[in-house]
Amino acid sequence: MYRIAIISPDRFLWALLCNSLSLVEAEVACFERWSEALIEPLSHYNLILTLESYPFLNGADVARRLRLSNRRPRIYVLSWLHDEQNVLSLLESGVDQYFTLPVNIPRLCGKITAQINEWRNG
Amino acid sequence: MYWLSILILTLLALTLLSVVVASLRTLAALRKGRMLASCHGYGSEAMSQTGVSVVVSGVRSEREIEQRLSSEYWRYEVIVVVDSTLDAQLLHRLCHKYSLIRVNFPTVDELSIDGAPRLYRSRQRRYRRLVVVDRLHRSRADDWNCGVVVASFDRIVPLESDRFLLPDALPRWVMELHESGECRNEVLAAQVAPTHFFDRRRVAMFARSAVIAEGGFVGEHPRVKMIRSLRGRLLSLPLAYSTAYRHRSENPLRRLFLGIGLAPTVALFVELVRRDWEGAREALLLIVAVYATALASSSIALRTRLVVRGEQGEERIKSLRRLLRCSFRVY
Amino acid sequence: MSGAMGEVVGAYTLALLVGAVLLAAASMLHARVRQRRIGIRRTLERCYVNVLNRRLLEGGSAWCCFPLIERRSSRLTLAVVVAQIGAMTYGYDRRVLAKVVRRYGLDRLLLEQARLSGGMRRVEWLHTLAQIECSDRIYQRMMNRYGRSRNSYIALCMTLAALNHSPERSIAILAERRGRLSPFDLAEVLMMLKRGLIPVAYQPLLRAEQANVRLLGLCIVRYFGVTEAEEDIVAAIATDDREVAESALFTLCALRLRLDRELVREAARRMSEGERRAWYRHLASEGYSSRAIAQIVPEKELSLLGEYVEQTVASYKRALMN
């Protein structure tokens, strides 16, 4: 089963994403903070959707740690920020996709579905 | 005894009133914060062009730097002042972890800086917010002045190593700055959690130009001195927290009530020596009045603190129970 | 102490003791009630998000059923959910959300709730109301009641509501606004624009007479990185309005456009020395070279500030000799 982790302090976005992803065939786990999510190994997940980008930029270097593990999950960041430097920094630090909020939910779900299909086909 | 009673009652009433006012102001500031947090433009790059330089003196570990680089505000930098003669390994580790390289320290005429500080910036874009200055530590004020010289932005937040900004602090500070008007925006001071009313521990955001015009930070309590000499205002909300342990004897409310309670205690002792039982009864009544005011003030202050900390339901009830058990012991 | 004073002290003490005990008891009761209320609200929120989002994703004409909707507090929760979904997403069928608002009278309910609340709570409700599609009648009532408010947050809510209600009049609405738009106001308007509610036509905004409209235009250009608007930005630098001129200068740097223009040099001359230094520092941090910055340093200050610019730029770049 494809496993997705949602890390968002915003409970609306949490509920919205959870509900939208219930239509795709995946197991979804939700965390409010990165500190909660990091308790168990994140490499168990295939996709991480996060609203908080600072763990990639503050030296904790979550992306590098995930890359070192055997199964590297894909990382999607959703943010209200649109700053070019911020986006480039995140992409350089190992984030796979950057979505600016407000987000088109059907398009996001479409991307994730395509990702799942790709994963299934090996 | 008559005048003593009037004096003490007036003092108690004034203290209680100021606690109520401070509490209401804090709750109003908190409500405003909640309202702002529900607006999606708040904190975004469209909201403000104001940049903030956070200057930290006396950092001892990488973990402290990580925490300070964890703000989601878009336009800020963290200037860390370290002393490699005290811990050479720390600078080495920082250079390795953040890919730091040495750049020229600007020898500008704005503030006089002793020694030969060394400036480091990261080669990697994602760590562009980190600036490290290595210099021989003389005083906190000198470290902060060094940070002011290399700061890219026009607003400075000087911090000690045991103080950390709360997650929402920078956008809130900038928001309040826009509402301050030009005549009161040289300094915006805020409280430090865990906060006590009348606490003189503050954090503040200064205008860089105002700090330079004052000749930089000086003295043993550089921030307090600078806050006094600049025009600005105080926000009734904690925007930073301190990890330093605080003994309850440092609680300013406790000190205040102990001071007020001293006069009727002495009066009680005098009346007992004189064997004036009526006078002793009245002095005892005054002491009970002081304790009752202390209990009421602490219960208001604690309730506000719990709301500020966002404690809900069971946690808040537990804390209130603890308050009722401890109040008599504390005051 | 006289007997009367003793009585006063006694009454004061008694009143305070009773007050403290009552406050503690009320706080505990309040905490319990609040805990229960928050629990119910969160569950309902989640339930309403699920129902509404599923309906929006799947389409069709089937009506959605919201549990416990007959309660006033539940309808308020639904109003917040509708506003939040509208604010966080785009591309959904907005008619579905409008239909939910109409069916349950959420606009009327929010206006009523704003009337009953005070301070920031009122602003919160009005902000929610400004994000949903309300009927003409409610819009008029809201404007009549709060349209002339001097509270800057309420004024912002009214502007947002007006933009949401008649997006085709967006330029006129901003031009007619009495007070100056603060940076926060601009950010909120921009968020509305990002949701596709108002058109992104930057040229008429940049060429408008009114400062509010020009500020929004500059904000849009900066935000979306529209380098084609270079000439309009430079023209904005020459305006008498200080705020617009400053915003235009900042936009020019943010887009990393050329600085060697007479209008930019003129703007630099108008600044005080402290402001100029701050601006040079900003340019250095944006990556401009010392030569590019030196071109806009006034000639008579070149000997004094030229060194400052050199030093500042050098502090961002690796010195090869070190």
Specify whether B166 is located in the same domain as B54: yes
State the Cα–Cα distance between residues C94 and C298, nearest whole angstrom. 54
On whether both B217 and B109 belong to a single domain, the answer is: yes
pLDDT one-digit tens code per residue, C153-179: 999 999 999 998 888 888 888 888 888
Of the partner residues B43, B44, B69, the one whose CB lies closest to the CB of residue A59: B69
**Does some domain include residue B42?**
no
State the smallest CA–CA distance between residue C313 and chain B in angstroms.
9
Q: In what order do the strands lie in the sheet with A74-79?
A: A26-31, A2-7, A47-50, A74-79, A97-100
Assigned domain for B149 exists: yes
For residue A4, what are the β-bridge partners? A28, A47
**Residues of chain B contacting residue C38, judged by C-beta atoms under 8 Å apart:** 312-313
Q: Is the dihedral of CA B127, B94, B97, B120 positive or negative?
A: positive
Arithmetic mean of pLDDT over chain C? 85
- Domain spans of chain C? 36-58+68-132, 258-322
Contacts of B101 (CB under 8 A, 6+ apart): B95, B120, B121, B122, B123, C318
Q: Quote the pLDDT of residue B329.
A: 52
Query: CA distances (Å), B81 to each of A72, B55, B69, in order?
Result: 36, 7, 15
B206 close to B185: Cβ distance less than 8 angstroms:
no
Q: What backbone torsions phi and psi does residue C127 show, to the nearest 5 degrees? A: -65, -40
The CA-based angle C17-C23-C28, given to 5 degrees, is 130
Structure tokens at C284: 């250095």
DSSP state letter for B48: -
Partnered with residue A5 across adjacent β-strands are A29, A48
**∠ Cα C44 C50 C53 (to 5°):** 130
Task: Let me know if residue B167 belongs to a domain.
Answer: yes
Any idea what DSSP says for residue B35? H
Tokens, residue C113: 């709730």
Could you give the CA distance from residue C213 to residue C204 in angstroms, rounded to a whole number?
A: 9
DSSP C89: B
Spatial separation of the C-alpha atoms in residues C275 and C281, rounded to whole Å: 10
In a domain, B177, yes or no: yes
Contact residues on chain B for A82, CB-CB shorter than 8 A: 44-46
By Cβ distance, the residue of B70, B74, B125 closest to A58 is B70
CA distance B91 to chain A (A): 15
Count of helix runs (H) and strand runs (E) in chain A: 6, 5
> Residues of A numbered 34-63 whose beta carbons fall under 8 angstroms of chain C's beta carbons: which are they?
none
Residue C78 has pLDDT above 80, yes or no: yes
> Whole domain around residue B170: which residue ranges?
48-242
Question: Looking at the predicted structure, is the pLDDT value of residue C98 above 80?
Answer: yes
Residue of B38, B65, B72 to mutate for A, most A C-beta atoms under 10 A:
B72
> Where in chain A are the domains?
2-120
Structural domains of chain B, count:
2
Let me know whether B282 and B298 are in one domain: yes
Closest-CA residue in chain C for A13? C88
Contact C162, C146 (CB under 8 A): no
Cβ <8 Å between C23 and B288: no
- Cα–Cα distance, B39 to C87 (Å, whole number): 9
Note whether C92 contacts A: Cβ–Cβ < 8 A.
yes
- Strand B155-159 and strand B202-207: pairing? antiparallel
pLDDT higher than 60, residue C321: no
Contact B41 C190 (CB under 8 A): yes
Whether C66 has a pLDDT exceeding 70, the answer reads yes
A29 bridge partner residues: A5
Q: Are strands B155-159 and B52-57 parallel, antiparallel or unpaired?
A: parallel
Q: Of B175, B282, B313, which has the smallest distance from its Cβ to C31's Cβ?
A: B313
| Side chain identity, residue B247 | H
Interface test with C, best of A105, A107, A108 (most C CBs within 10 A): A105
Q: Which of B39, B48, B324 sits opposite C127 (nearest CB)?
A: B39
- Between CA A6 and CA A112 the distance in angstroms is 13
In contact, C232 and C208? CB cutoff 8 Å: no
Cα–Cα distance measured from residue C80 to residue C86, given in angstroms and rounded to the nearest whole number: 10
pLDDT digit string (tens) for A34-52?
888 777 777 788 899 998 8
Buried b (16+ CB within 10 A) or exposed e, B63-87: ebbbbbbbbbbbbbbbbbbbbbeee
For chain B, say whether C282 makes contact (Cβ under 8 Å).
yes
- Nearest Cβ partner for C57 among A11, A15, A23: A23
**A73 HSE (CA, 13 A, CB side):** 23
Cα(C251)–Cα(C267) distance, rounded to whole angstroms? 14
What distances in angstroms separate CA C205 from CA B36, B321, C26, one per listed residue?
27, 59, 54
Cross-chain CB nearest to C314 (options B104, B292, B324): B104
Alpha-carbon gap: C201 to the closest alpha carbon of chain B (Å)? 17
Give how far Cα B146 sits from Cα of A94, B95, C273, C310, Å. Answer: 34, 19, 21, 19
Q: Residue A6 — φ and ψ, nearest 5°?
A: -110, 125
Tell me how crowded residue C154 is: count the other CB atoms within 10 A of its CB.
Answer: 19
Task: List the single residue in A with minimal CA-CA distance to B40.
Answer: A80
Examine the fold and report which residue of B215, B242, B269 is the final residue of a domain before the chain moves on: B242
Bond into B171 cis (ω within 30): no
- Domain A2-120 is of which CATH architecture? 3-Layer(aba) Sandwich (3.40)
> Does residue B219 sit within a domain?
yes
> Is residue A58 predicted with pLDDT exceeding 60?
yes
Question: Residue C148 and residue C158: Cα distance in Å, rounded?
Answer: 9
pLDDT at A26 over 50: yes
Q: Select from B199, B217, B242 the last residue of a domain.
A: B242
Give pLDDT, residue B288.
83
Residues B85 and B188 in one domain: yes
Residue C169 per-residue DSSP state: G
Q: Which segments in chain B show pLDDT lower than 70? A: 1, 195-198, 245-250, 308-317, 319-331
Name which residue leads in pLDDT, C272 or B97. Answer: B97
Residues in Cβ contact with B21 at an 8 Å cutoff, skipping those fewer than 6 apart: none
CA–CA distance from C30 to each of C23, C76, C150 (Å)? 10, 20, 33
C220-266 pLDDT tens trace:
898 888 888 888 898 888 888 888 888 898 898 888 888 888 888 88
Q: Return residues 6-45 of B near C (CB < 8 Å).
A: 6, 9, 12, 16, 28, 31-32, 34-35, 38-42, 44-45
**B23 and B83 part of one domain:** no
Backbone phi, psi, residue B246, to 5°: -115, 125
Residue in the structure block whose two tokens are 């001097």: C150
Q: Which of B198, B219, B242 is the last residue of a domain?
A: B242
Contact A12 C50 (CB under 8 A): no
Question: What is residue B166's three-state secondary structure?
Answer: coil
Residue B264 region by backbone torsions, left for phi larger than 0, else alpha for psi between -120 and 50, else beta = alpha
Task: Nearest chain A residue to C192 by CA: give it.
Answer: A102
- Ranking B81-85, C8-12, C79-83, C126-130 by mean pLDDT, the lowest is C8-12
pLDDT of residue B120: 92
Q: Is C29 on the interface with B (CB under 8 A)?
A: no
Instruction: Tell me B47's DSSP state.
Output: T
- Residue B232 to residues A104, B20, B198, B235, Cα–Cα distance (Å): 43, 23, 18, 10
